[in-house]
Amino acid sequence: MSIEVLQPPGWARPRGYVNGMAARGRQVFVAGMIGWDAQCQFHDDTLAGQVGQALRNVVAVLAEAGARPEHLVRLTWYVTSRDEYLEQLPRIGAEYRAALGRHYPAMAVVQVVALVEARAKVEIEATAVVPDSEPAGGSPP
């Protein structure tokens, strides 16, 4: 795969994300996904539940580009409550792994005052890079 984790020497390894990634291939940009389903209906008012749905939404959009969770190179999360995020971190981690597995791209989590959808507690933007196809019979030139 043409994705490389960037870990400066001597830096402590982060948990749940990486410091940086370098990638080559087709870039896929996913708009901010919130915790509602394909019919714009919320089924959970907890932050962790909405994170799970938002991540499943990200995966669905990635699939439209032929991308998978392991192609993610960056996630930006906007949460309405830092305290709720920290309180629900174990369940958020479980929702993350259920949707994306154990692939951890570069990530930022930012607390915001509110999101446009009043019931939304999280919005997640994603960037993925799908590796270029190798030509038949071997590796790229």
User: Is residue 79 situated within a structural domain?
Assistant: yes
| Three-class DSSP category at 100 | helix
User: Is residue 18 situated within a structural domain?
Assistant: no
**Sign of torsion over alpha carbons 14, 17, 19, 24:** positive
Q: What is the structure's pLDDT at 2?
A: 78
Amino acid letter, 34: I
Domain of 85: which CATH number?
3.30.1330.40
Instruction: Write the DSSP symbol of residue 134.
Output: P
User: Is residue 136 situated within a structural domain?
Assistant: no
pLDDT tens, the chain, 141 aa long: 578 899 999 999 998 899 999 999 999 999 999 999 999 999 999 999 999 999 999 999 999 999 999 999 999 999 999 999 999 999 999 999 999 999 999 999 999 999 999 999 999 999 999 988 733 333 333
User: Is residue 15 situated within a structural domain?
Assistant: no
Q: What is the structure's pLDDT at 125?
A: 98
Q: What is the structure's pLDDT at 79?
A: 98
User: Is residue 12 situated within a structural domain?
Assistant: no
User: Is residue 141 situated within a structural domain?
Assistant: no
User: Is residue 19 situated within a structural domain?
Assistant: no
Domain tally, the chain: 1
Q: What is the structure's pLDDT at 16?
A: 87
DSSP per-residue string spanning 31-99: EEEESB-TTS-B---SHHHHHHHHHHHHHHHHHHTT--GGGEEEEEEEES-HHHHHHTHHHHHHHHHHH
- The dihedral formed by the CA atoms of 64, 68, 69 and 75, expressed in degrees to the nearest 10: -50
Rounded CA separation 66/31 (Å): 16
Q: What is the structure's pLDDT at 1?
A: 54
Residues in the chain: 141
User: Is residue 14 situated within a structural domain?
Assistant: no
